[in-house]
A and B are shown apart, each in its own frame.
Chain A
Amino acid sequence: MPARYFEDFTVGEIFNLPDVPVSREDIVEFAEQFDPQVFHLRDDTPITEFGGGLIASGWHVCALFMRLLDDGLLLGSRCAGSPGVEHLKWQHAVRPGDHLTGRTTVVETRAWPVDPQLGLVRFHHEIFNQHRERTMMMDNAILFARRPS
């Protein structure tokens, strides 16, 4: 399949991303390295009004999402990086045994004044678990090379 350039994205276009299982080992391994809060490491945390038990670090969910976006879209594109993330919400905890998938919608495409060889595509990303509960959503812009004329 030919690589996607900036010109190949249209507003309203939807990409269904692949899916990934999340194991207890994955959650603890990420947390030990990057987010060693007790509720990302152990099951026996006190129950609060936010719930209890082992939950994945939100940054782990971001990293898992990135892999889905790479495999589902970016590795087949002329991606040139991202300036950042406008908004992100963690809406539902990710727990051991969950199975995540995602959906990405093109919100806007526009020129990138910093570099005329690139264009900017704004996306709305959503991550769901196996019960179709939305665990995370994010508004993010990604740069792509323009098709050589």
Chain B
Amino acid sequence: MNAYDRIAVGDTHVFGSHTFAAEAIKRFAAKYDPQPVHVEEQAARANGGLRASGWHTASAMMRLLVDYFDSLEARARAAGEPYLVSGPSPGFDDLKWPHPVYAGDTVTYTARIVAKRPSRSRPGWGLLSMTTTGVNQEGKTVFSVTTHVFVETSK
């Protein structure tokens, strides 16, 4: 059975956790999202404190996702087993930022496979959909998204 066939809807993957340091929040926001609540601690204080740009929360998820699947690949290679080969992503749906990510928060990201189907437009490829949720240290959901990615069906 190849790696694609082994994937089942309902499988869960814990990508890991990321702590959002104030300096990192400000550095990301100064470049990509310089709204006062992301860059000015003084201005943010009235609104509960400095909070990460939503795109920072999303980008931190992507880093953990890439590292997680890299480690699965390394383990499969070492064991001589097949591993998933992914291509580009056509996009995502239902991205939600239900609660702010404040400086010092630690967010744990967990994904669940929600759909898997052969691609109609790309023979040899399938489209894998997963819903990834980010939960902070108090158990509050701060992020969720359903992403889609092309994966090779023959690997």
Contact = CB atoms under 8 A, between A and B. Distances in A.
Interface of A: 30, 33-37, 39, 48-50, 55, 57-59, 62-64, 66-67, 70, 74-75, 79, 81-90, 93
Contacts of B91: 58, 87-90
Interface string B114-144: 0000000010010000000000000000000
Contacts of B93: 86-88
Contacts of B94: 84-86
A85 B88 CA distance: 20
Interface of B: 28, 31-35, 37, 53-55, 58-60, 62-63, 66-67, 87-98, 100, 122, 125, 150
Name the 7 nearest CB pairs between A and B, nearest first.
Answer: A84-B96, A63-B32, A89-B91, A85-B95, A34-B59, A66-B33, A84-B95
A75 B66 CA distance: 32
Contacts of B89: 58, 90
Contact of A79 (B28, B35, B58, B122): B35
Nearest to B65: A35
Contacts of B60: 34
Among A35, A55, A64, A66, find the residue whose CB has the most chain B CB atoms closer than 10 A. Answer: A66
A82 B63 contact: no
11 contacts: A59-B59, A66-B32, A66-B53, A67-B32, A67-B33, A79-B35, A82-B97, A84-B54, A85-B92, A88-B91, A89-B91
Given A35-B59, A37-B66, A87-B93, 9 more contacts: A34-B59, A49-B122, A75-B34, A82-B97, A83-B98, A85-B95, A87-B92, A89-B90, A90-B88
Contacts of A89: 90-91
